[in-house]
Chain A
């Protein structure tokens, strides 16, 4: 049972475009939603994260939008650059549990063309 569904599977944008990656979760106990970025030959690394007490969080060119009632959250990359080309994973877990495991989405491969 896939608890976090991510779309699209792949995405191609031109430099300067705003790619949007969407995730939906099922478990209402989830209250911590990070995004990880993975470059080829590397392990994933934390990019940005949000908790449900806010509807949006911005760090540099990366923004998470969160819709608690719809159980959805999305990543927006403003003014995308070729260096942003990578695979992006959304994830979810329970913040208050020290045994909470991260449940990852299926991943989105982003290509930003020069």
Chain B
């Protein structure tokens, strides 16, 4: 019973297409994150948000963009997909308070760009 939902789970598209990966959470968490997970399984933070209208770039440079208009929703958009964007994208959320920063992850969106 996931409290954070990602759609689509799998997406295969052609080069140049615009795509949006959806992420929604029902826990009222203020913090949300997007991680890119490469074939070697390493997790790279590409975007994060500490609340509505707050977005920051992560440690790994990414051509994607994000928005945070509602607390529960944190979509990621690629304006023009390329084969180099092929990867698994994981969305996560946590409470905005000091202390243990426990992340709840979604199941991921696996993107393949042909």
Residues in chain A within 8 A of chain B (CB atoms)? 9, 32, 34, 36, 38, 41-46, 49, 87, 89, 93, 95-102, 104, 106-107, 109
Chain B residues with CB under 8 Å of A95's CB are: 98-101
A43-B107, A43-B108, A99-B50 given; A89·B43 CB < 8 A: yes
Q: Does B42 contact A (CB under 8 A)?
A: yes
Q: Does B21 contact A (CB under 8 A)?
A: no
Among B67-75, B77-85, B89-97, the one that faces the other chain is: B89-97
A38 to B41, CA, bound (A): 10
- Looking at chain B's contact residues, the main secondary structure is loop
A42 to B45, CA, bound (A): 17
Q: Are A98 and B98 closer than 8 Å at their CB atoms?
A: yes
Q: How far does the Cβ of B58 sit from chain A's closest Cβ, in whole Å? A: 8
Q: Are A107 and B42 closer than 8 Å at their CB atoms?
A: yes
Residues in chain B within 8 A of chain A (CB atoms)? 4, 40-43, 45, 48, 50, 58, 90, 92, 96-108
Q: Are B42 and A106 closer than 8 Å at their CB atoms?
A: yes
Q: Are A104 and B43 closer than 8 Å at their CB atoms?
A: yes
Chain A residues with CB under 8 Å of B40's CB are: 9, 106-107
Chain B residues with CB under 8 Å of A96's CB are: 98
Chain B residues with CB under 8 Å of A98's CB are: 96-98
Q: Are A93 and B101 closer than 8 Å at their CB atoms?
A: yes
> Which of A34, A46, A107 contacts B41 (CB under 8 A)?
A107
Most buried by B among A9, A34, A43, A89: A43
Q: Which residue of B lies closest to A9 (CB)?
A: B40
Q: Which residue of B lies closest to A100 (CB)?
A: B101
